[in-house]
Amino acid sequence: MENIKYRAVVTGATRGIGYAIAERLLQDGLEVIATGTRKNAKHPAGSSYYQVDFLDENSVNKFIQYLKKQKINILVNNAGINKIGEFSSIDIDDFDRILRVNLRVPFQICQAVIPYMENEKWGRIVNLTSIFGNITKEYRAAYSSSKFGLDGMTAALAAELSEKGILANSVGPGVIDTELTRDVLGESGISELKGRIPMKRLGQASEIASLVSWLVSDENTYMTGQNLMIDGGFTRV
C-alpha cells in the first residue's frame, strides 16, 4: 500500500508534539485529521480539523461516531493533560479527569477505528505515553497512573491485533522543547534539567515526529508492543 492511501488521526495536534507529528505525517503523504479542544484552532496546513473536548461526554460520543464512519488506517493518541501534586492531596475529580483524557478516551478511540483496520488487515497505532509511563517520581501519581495504564493497553492491543496486521506501540517523550515546557519550567529549571540529561539538551518535537513517522509506515513490519523512550538517555543512562 502507498502512504498516500492512508488516513491518520492525530489527537492534540494544535501545538507542540502533536502539531509536529501531524505536520510530519502530512509531509509523508498521508491524509491527516487533527484534533484539538478549541474552535478554529491553529493546525497544520493541509490537515482537516475536528474540535473535540475529551472532558465532555457528548463531545466525545460525537467524535467516536464520526471516527466510525471514517476509514482510519493510522491512529496517534497524543492528547493528554497533567497535574502535579502530593499523593495525599490529589483531588479525586482531578484524578478522574486525568484518567479520562489520558486513558479512557484513547481506549474509546481505539475501539472506534480498529474494526476498519481489521477489515483492511493493516493498521498502525501509536500511543504517546511519557518517560513517566516508564519511570516515575514524587508528585506524579495521577499522571503516571494514566500513562502506565496507556502503555499497558498498548501492549494488550499488540498481543491481540499483531497477527491481523495491526501494530501498536507506545512512544515516551522525555523533556521536549515546547512552549508549554518553557512556561512550566522557566529558564532556570530547563538549565538544571539539561544537566541531568546525558545529551545535555532538551528534545525537539520534530524528533518525536520522526520516530512516529517510521512506526506508522510500511517500513515498520516487526516493531509492536514496545514502549520506546526518546529522552536523550534520561531514563536509561
Question: Catalytic amino acids?
Answer: 143
H or E segment and range at residue 100 = none
- The residue assigned the cell 498481543 is 159
**Inter-axis angle of helices 92-99 and 141-161, to 10 degrees?**
30
Domain extent listing, the chain: 3-229
- Say how far apart CA 108 and CA 130 lie, in whole Å: 20
* Contact between residue 162 and residue 148 where contact means Cβ atoms under 8 Å apart: no
What pLDDT is stored for residue 184 in this prediction? 74
Positive or negative CA dihedral for 182, 179, 57, 147? Answer: negative
Per-residue pLDDT of the chain in tens (237 residues, 90 and over written 9): 444 579 999 999 999 999 999 999 999 999 999 999 999 999 999 999 999 999 999 999 999 999 999 999 999 999 999 888 999 999 999 999 999 999 999 999 999 999 999 999 999 999 999 998 999 988 889 999 999 999 999 999 999 999 999 999 999 999 999 887 888 788 998 999 899 999 999 999 999 999 999 999 999 999 999 999 999 999 998
Nine-digit cell string for 57: 461526554
Nine-digit cell string for 160: 491481540
- Say how far apart CA 91 and CA 84 lie, in whole Å: 11
CATH number of 3-229: 3.40.50.720
What pLDDT is stored for residue 189 in this prediction? 86
* Nearest partner of 35 among 15, 14, 17, 8, judged by Cα: 14
Nine-digit cell string for 101: 483524557
Question: 163-177 burial, b if ≥16 CB within 10 A, otherwise e?
Answer: eeebbbbbbbbbbbe
Question: Long-range pairs for 139-143 at CB < 8 Å and ≥24 separation?
Answer: 139/84, 139/85, 139/86, 139/87, 140/84, 141/87, 141/90, 142/83, 142/85, 142/90, 142/94, 142/95, 142/98, 142/99, 143/82, 143/83, 143/84, 143/98, 143/102
What pLDDT is stored for residue 1 in this prediction? 41
What pLDDT is stored for residue 109 in this prediction? 98
Nine-digit cell string for 54: 475529551
What pLDDT is stored for residue 2 in this prediction? 46
What pLDDT is stored for residue 58 in this prediction? 98
> Under DSSP, is residue 208 helix (H, G, I), strand (E, B) or coil?
helix
Nine-digit cell string for 170: 507506545
* Nearest partner of 99 among 138, 141, 130, 67, judged by Cα: 141
What pLDDT is stored for residue 137 in this prediction? 86
